[in-house]
């Protein structure tokens, strides 16, 4: 960088205050870098479990961006834990499913830059062709009172 500065600052630019020019360029680059860090990527993480609280190993958890349509998918580990990262700032539909459980959709999940959002998901035992959609308008007491018919196999 010093050699580059010397080449730029040779000749007539030196009389114009080349030091200020170099300092201004460095400050400009630093400000762009700081803005990128403030708006940086987000993370959604949590545990997938069944209604009894037992963790579900190997559940698929995905987040679909409402802005771009991009989908990020991960599987839960031996502790039922998942991490969706890196994610752009925005709104997502988060889905979770596993064999022997109903698919769960969580709509309008918002993440901000540099945020780590904790999102634990509970899958209901049942048919894999039934989907449970949770919207922000539903409160926890409404969710607790939901009843689903069980299919007999």
- Rounded CA-CA distance 133/69 in Å is 18
Average pLDDT of the residues of the chain: 78
For the entire predicted model, the pTM comes to 0.62
Closest to 70 (Cα-Cα) out of 58, 45, 87:
87
Q: Rg (Cα) of the chain, in Å, rounded?
A: 25
Q: Where are the domains of the chain?
A: 2-38, 42-144
At 146, list the tokens.
Answer: 């939901």
**Is CATH 2.60.40.1120 what the domain over 42-144 is classified as, yes or no?**
yes
Q: Point out the least confidently predicted range of 10-14, 130-134, 146-150.
A: 146-150
- pLDDT surpasses 60 at 79: yes
Which conformational region is residue 36 in: left (phi greater than 0), alpha (psi within -120 to 50 degrees), or beta?
A: alpha
- pLDDT surpasses 90 at 138: no
In the numeric block, the tokens 């037992």 are attached to 54
């Amino acid at each position: 960088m010093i050699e580059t500065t010397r080449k730029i600052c040779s000749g007539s630019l030196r009389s114009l205050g080349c030091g200020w020019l170099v300092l201004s360029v460095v400050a400009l680059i630093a400000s762009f870098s700081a803005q990128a860090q403030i708006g940086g990527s987000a993370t959604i993480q949590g545990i997938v479990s069944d209604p009894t609280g037992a963790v579900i190993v190997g559940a698929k958890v995905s987040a679909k961006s409402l802005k771009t349509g991009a989908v990020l998918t991960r599987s839960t580990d031996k502790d039922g834990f998942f991490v969706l990262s890196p994610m752009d700032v925005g709104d997502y539909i988060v889905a979770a499913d596993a064999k022997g459980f109903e698919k769960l959709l969580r709509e309008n999940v918002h993440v901000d830059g540099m945020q780590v959002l904790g999102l634990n998901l509970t899958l209901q035992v049942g048919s894999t062709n039934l989907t449970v959609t949770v919207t922000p308008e539903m409160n926890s007491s409404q969710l607790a009172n939901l009843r689903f018919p069980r299919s007999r196999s």
